[in-house]
Amino acid sequence: MNTVSETLKSKLLGVRTAIDKNIIGQEQMLPELIKNIERGELGLADSKRPKGSFLFLGPTGVGKTELTLTFTEYLFDEDCMYRFDMSEFRHIDSIKQFIGDETGSHGRLGRVLENNKHGTLLFDEMEKAHPQIMDIFLQILDAARVTLGNGKTYNLSNYYIVFTSNIGAKRIPDKGTVLSTILESGIKAEVKKHLRKEMIARFGDICIFQQLDYNTQKDIAKLILGKELQRMDEKGYHLTCSSSAFHYMIINGIQEGLGVRPLRDTIQKSIGDAICDEILRGGNNPNGELIHDKDDNCLKINQKND
């Protein structure tokens, strides 16, 4: 009889809490995803398959990569998410770059597998990969094993596998509308037009991400801002953010059709630029409140007078 440690039980009971701290607006598909993770961590998944395998569908900037990063870092206590942009491997001459070759080259995938024994493999925009790479994906899903161009075979049964795709994204309504069963069926029908049925049958779960409405994007901006202020605090820059500064970052960071993807860059750049400007003006230790300077249309730091 297998005995499950209290430490593992406690960790699994905390998965949802960990995800909720970082993922906003996608609650509808989390229960099934978490069940897949629980089965994987408790050793209930087929030992000849990956710990878990997911197809994340939805438009850009809605949290597909962020969700993958969140559960991976929580489960493995380290940065064990290995991301591959499959648009880089759409041509036949790029296949060897991905899987290596007979000269002994490991390729991008082989280098990850050679140096790591567990984690999550994230294959972004999978539908853009060359058909021969699709065959490799099928091998991974079917047997948790992959033989690369150098002839070496790797066991992937300790990995989670995540594929992302924009297939069917145009069917997803705007403004965070809850997806109906009919809409979900239509999106999955679209997937069947692009991916082989034997591959679709091997996904542990197909998760459909919703569009994010404006208020949800604002909530995500607050989350990103909090993390960035904490990161700056650890570097010795103790900052708060005024409502005018937050509004400036929202206006510049939320872009139609891109979800929240530009938000992180806008927040990091705006705060970083304000610190740089203050240092170069002679403030060696910029501390204070971030404000929006309307004349220069940028963030500045209203220094504290200690």
- Which residue type sits at 123? F
Per-residue pLDDT, 53:
96
- What local confidence, expressed as pLDDT, does residue 179 receive? 66
Walk along the chain (306 residues) and give the pLDDT tens digit of each residue. Answer: 567 889 999 999 999 999 999 999 898 889 999 999 999 999 998 888 999 999 999 888 899 999 999 999 999 977 899 999 999 999 999 999 999 998 888 999 999 999 999 999 999 999 999 999 999 999 999 999 999 988 999 999 999 999 999 998 888 776 555 666 777 888 888 998 889 899 999 999 999 998 888 889 999 999 999 999 999 999 999 999 999 999 999 999 988 767 788 899 999 999 999 999 999 987 667 889 999 999 999 999 987 655
pLDDT of residue 206: 92
CA distance linking residue 109 with residue 77, whole number of Å:
22
Of 103, 113, 104, 168, nearest to 140 by C-alpha is 113
Q: Are 182 and 120 in contact (CB under 8 A)?
A: no
Contact yes or no for 241/250 (Cβ under 8 A) = no
Q: Return the H-helix or E-strand segment holding 288.
A: strand 288-293
Left, alpha or beta for 75 (phi > 0: left; psi -120 to 50: alpha)? alpha
For residue 207, the surrounding DSSP H or E stretch is strand 205-208
Q: Report pLDDT for 255.
A: 80
User: Domains along the chain?
Assistant: 6-208 (3.40.50.300), 214-303 (1.10.8.60)
- The two structure tokens encoding residue 134: 């699709």
Would you say the C-alpha torsion 260, 261, 265, 266 has a positive or negative sign? Answer: negative
Count Cβ atoms within 10 A of the Cβ of residue 241 and give its class: 0-12 exposed, 13-18 middle, 19 or more buried: buried
Main-chain phi, psi angles of 103, to 5 degrees: -75, -5
